[in-house]
Amino acid sequence: MSKPEPVELPEGDGPPAAYAAAEEPVALRVRLIDDERTPEGMVCMATYHDTRLIARYVMPPEMWAQVSEHDLFGSPVPVVLVAREAAPGLQCQLYALLQLPPGCCRITGSGSTTGSPPPMSRKSYGRVHRR
């Protein structure tokens, strides 16, 4: 895999951010965990690299069913880390860039998945995005 060219990112209203992408796709393992911060009616997906917990994501059970059914993390995936300065030091978010199979997730005209989307928070530990 060739190294990507540096990209000039647009200035935004938020705090400056540093972006880092893994040179090669990373093998990740996901499973549901109990987390007291998970809202009622939602599930919490934990993401592990080797044996280390690296991210958590709250989602509706239907979204977890899609992740499981399509084995979205069955092969190594490209990952990007975004870091911003925030109290008490750095706020970091890990993004897995997934190639979704046809029919995996239905997207509405507004860009959200059909059904009730999960509540998003800047305190999320990990997010899954469509490439």
Mean pLDDT of 110-128: 40
Mean pLDDT of 35-57: 95
Number of residues assigned to the chain: 131
Task: State the pLDDT at residue 60.
Answer: 95
Nearest to residue 86, comparing CAs of 15, 20, 10, 12?
15
- Give the residue extent of every domain in the chain: 17-130
**Average pLDDT across the chain, whole number:** 78
Looking at per-residue confidence, does 104 or 16 come out higher? 16
pTM of the model: 0.67
Task: State the pLDDT at residue 126.
Answer: 40
